[in-house]
Amino acid sequence: MGEERRITISVIKADIGSLAGHHKVHPDTMAAASRILAEAKSKGVIIDYYVTHVGDDLELIMTHRKGIDSPEIHGLAWEAFKKATEVAKELGLYAAGQDLLSDAFSGNVRGLGPGVAEMEFVERKSEPIIVFMADKTEPGAFNLPLFKVFADPFTTAGLVIDPRLHGGFKFEILDVFEGKYVVMSAPEEMYDILALIGTPARYVIKRIYRKSDNEIAAVVSSERLNLIAGRYVGKDDPVAIVRAQSGFPAVGEILEAFAFPHLVAGWMRGSHFGPLMPVGLKDAKCTRFDGPPRIVALGFNVSKGRLIGPADLFDDPAFDETRRLAQTIAEYIRRHGPFMPHRLGPEEMEYTTLPEVLEKLKDRFVEAKEYEKRIKPKLRHSALLSGEPHE
Ligand SMILES: [Mg+2]
């Protein structure tokens, strides 16, 4: 259990431009990012890496021994995104460089646009992990499934029957508006946890720890691009890392939570609710109304820091019914067009055209009492019948 066995997994992602609108990442941009990571691997900066994509998001999965928030690792990711952006610009891809909000990298990609999920732990004898990557949604999309995985015994049987899980888990919840954390304990504070995370636009599960020994179990990226940039620059499509087996929920228990295609915010222009559809990598591309929102799950075994795998976990007929239901829901909710609850509520529309529309109409809004006086009929019906004189 020496220090040398501590390993860090960093999943850093960005939308640096995509093919045919917001559809999917171009393979040449992935190749450009891969070259940078291959070079870093050969120099021993990282131990291993896997480059992939979900929809229009370029995903870098890296292992190393430099801990979380390492300037070297963040700098490496930044360089990979920069190189990929150069290719995206050269190819004329859509929204090239979209998520790189600043030209000045200063040691950490947080706040500069990319999304980050990182965890550090001592590798177990066998260390299965799942990396979840979603497109066309927001970090709060993980609230419901992660609650089910780590606090709902109807999803995770182990919470009841496995003594190592029976003590429950701690949830670190981030208020993304206030920038504050609260740590809460399940099952004791389950209802209070739900009172918060039921508002996924504001309260986001950031990390989950096993209570018995404080071991890290899950981490979610929590960047919200619209809050970072102060204007709408695309939804901050989230990633998460979850550890599985031997004291953590089984892989199947973790995946079970995604068999229900719950409604998440995102989809077209980041402004619509839609079902989160679990898909294999071959279907990790957005089409209908730039969606529906999709999620991919890649399973790895981390062995001496190497990423063994991946297993494309949602690429399985067992999720066909989930996908079918997702499409039925997509069809239903799409019929609402620009109406809520398909379109997000006004508080979420702050960075779209809504404030401009309100500003334009400002002088045309009249106090209700005043307005009603104006439209009062000049001729009363009773007067007309009685033949009273009138104007
Ligand atoms: Mg995206």
Q: How far is the CA of 136 from the centre of ligand 1 (A)?
A: 5
57 is written with which tokens? 């998001």
Catalytic-residue membership of 209: no
Q: What is the 8-class DSSP label of residue 142?
A: G
pLDDT in tens for each of the 391 residues of the chain? 445 589 999 999 999 999 999 999 999 999 999 999 999 999 999 999 999 999 999 999 999 999 999 999 999 999 999 999 999 999 999 988 888 887 778 788 877 889 999 999 999 999 999 999 999 999 999 999 999 999 999 999 999 999 999 999 999 999 988 888 999 999 999 999 999 999 999 899 999 999 999 999 999 998 776 666 665 555 589 999 999 999 999 999 999 999 999 999 999 988 999 999 999 999 999 999 999 999 999 999 999 999 999 999 999 999 999 999 999 999 999 999 999 999 999 877 766 678 888 899 999 999 999 998 888 766 667 766 776 665 5
Q: Name the catalytic one among 56, 235, 236, 285.
A: 235
Q: Which residues contact 168 (CB under 8 A, 6 or more apart)?
A: 151, 159, 185, 186, 187, 188, 211
Q: Name the catalytic one among 13, 15, 24, 135.
A: 15
Q: Name the catalytic one among 94, 170, 192, 232.
A: 232
Q: How far is the CA of 17 from the centre of ligand 1 (A)?
A: 9
Catalytic-residue membership of 15: yes
Instruction: Note if the pTM is more than 0.85.
Output: yes
Q: How far is the CA of 315 from the centre of ligand 1 (A)?
A: 20
CA–CA distance from 370 to each of 57, 363, 367, 377, 391 (Å)? 52, 14, 5, 14, 22
Answer whether 139's CB lies under 8 Å from 222's CB.
yes
The Cα 138–Cα 377 span in angstroms is 51
Catalytic-residue membership of 363: no
Q: How far is the CA of 272 from the centre of ligand 1 (A)?
A: 14
Q: Where are the beta strands (DSSP E) in the chain?
A: 6-14, 48-54, 57-64, 115-122, 127-135, 169-175, 180-186, 203-210, 216-220, 239-243, 263-266, 272-275, 277-278, 294-303, 306-312
* Among candidate residues 173, 133, 140, 153, the one with its CA nearest the CA of residue 257: 153
Q: What are phi and psi of 200, to 5 degrees?
A: -70, -15
Q: At what angle do helices 27-42 and 71-90 cross, to 10 degrees?
A: 150
Give the residues across from 180 on adjacent strands.
175
Residue 346 burial (CB count, 10 A): 12
Q: How are the residues of the chain apportioned to helix, strand and coil, as percentages rounded to the nearest 5?
A: 30, 30, 40
Q: How far is the CA of 37 from the centre of ligand 1 (A)?
A: 21
Q: How far is the CA of 180 from the centre of ligand 1 (A)?
A: 26
Q: How far is the CA of 15 from the centre of ligand 1 (A)?
A: 6
Q: Which residues contact 65 (CB under 8 A, 6 or more apart)?
A: 4, 6, 7, 8, 47, 305
